[in-house]
Structure 1
Amino acid sequence: MSSIDTPTSPASQSILITGCSSGIGKHVALALHEKGYTVYATARNSEGVMALRSYGLQACELDLDSSESIQQAVTWVLEQTNGHLYALFNNGAYGQPGAVEDLSRDVLRQQFETNVFGWHELTNLVIPIMRKQGYGRIIHNSSVLGLVAMQYRGAYNASKFALEGLTDTLRQELDGSGVYISLIEPGPITSQFRVNAFAKFKANIKTQGSPHQTIYEQVEKRLASASEKDAPFTLGPEAVLQKVEHILTSKRPKIRYYVTFPTYLFGYLKRLLPARWLDLLLLAISRRENR
């Protein structure tokens, strides 16, 4: 294959996916595998890897908090593909609930280690491969909270806002390289996101004595009892899969892919409304959510 021969069939298109233990990552990995793509699925521990292999996937460990793990995973994938990689789908992430004033430096740093720095390091490892071959697709799974900010999600908001800024910059810097980078903005999708967020909330936020203690009691009830399906306009992970497939097959993928109604709505309202009006709307939604 020459540096300009972009692979056109799924079987010749290899894709590395992070965060495949559950939710969006698992669904996309399995669906693309069934469609004939050469999928390299990753999980952060050996138990997750074994589970993925039981489904017939090629899988390895990739812990986004560890440079060594990231480098080993990329080395393994490139050994399997003879040094080529068609696509990277950065998906592994988590949400850290809590008011901004209750986030310690270490807790905020950890949110960025996983959601930003790990993705950045992994992306920078595959870019030279894609530049050399003259083609590639980089897909970042962002969030509606990369477009607008909501109360008690400051760490996650900040990580996704940072991701959006890095991606917009990188897109300009990749211009003319044959490598396309796109953002997917899912909104509410059925997954383990709330379960994982509740665990992080319990582990890292000191609620006693906080000015937000009363609200935290409602946040705990919501996170402990609700599932992703309880959120209005929730779609299944197949909705994200559709966007991933479009990016993989399009000659010129879009810059951003909105998925659910809230993402379309807030993407539009952010452009239309004054900031104070948008704040009032978001505050009303948060208060309704936590009452």
Structure 2
Amino acid sequence: MKLKNATKLVVGGLLASMISTAHAGETLDRIMKNKVLVEVTDQAYPPFSYIDDKGEVVGFDVDIAREVAKRLGVEFKVETPSWEIITAGNWKGRWDVCICSMSPTAERAKVLTFVNEYYGAPAVVAVNSDNTTIKSVKDLGGKNVGTQGGTPYEKYLQKELVIEVPGKEPVKPEFPFGDVTVKPYDTEDFAFQDLGLGDGKRLDAAVAGYLTVAERVKKSGGKLKIVDDTLFTEPLWVAVDKGDPEWEAKIKEIFKAMYDDGTLKTISEKWVGRDISAKQ
């Protein structure tokens, strides 16, 4: 009787261990079994991720994710649902990784795991080139200001932003402006299209990351300009669905190798003209 119970305990322990191990490596196991890495990202965030003239999703983030797939020895696939769906977490196996310029927040950390920081992005104000009243962030009070919904830029304009980096104390930036009317957009593309229609026609200004704004200003044909220094610096992290520490460890391992051998620097210089990669 004792032997029988002991056997049950051993078998039960082994089964529990097997189940725990399978759960711990669920995402990584799926990637290696299916021989494909599924990246999820924004479709309108140049030069990090956007749809080119050929209808393909390209950019800084996409190249990094593609390199991760290469180093895993698997194929690469990218999908572009709405930003709100990405940040809602609970991906349930639809996507494997978000190398998608996401900043960590306490709210997002409830449903996603932030694995490692891979670059930082300063936020700036942009206006129509005909604007003469907004010379700095201090002049935004009472204005209609566009930004992508569900981003730190929206929180900043609402004076609710807290920069939360895993392992560090939260930091609240200064908000040196009066109340603004925040106009959230599904994508930055639409916000900057409205800004380009004319000064004050739909928007008085827009707030976004410097690197994407600089790209839009360059391609605007003189319709847009940047008017202020850095508002705050946004740390961007790799995000994954919760529950797979083995996958998280593998991501850190690959990113360290890419940083050490110069791959992150090369990709960065290709897309933004300088090395913005964070040390791994």
- TM-score, normalising length from structure 2? 0.33
- More strand by percentage: 2
Larger RCO, structure (CA 8 Å, separation 6 or more) = 2
Q: Highest CA radius of gyration, 1 or 2?
A: 2
- More helix by percentage: 1
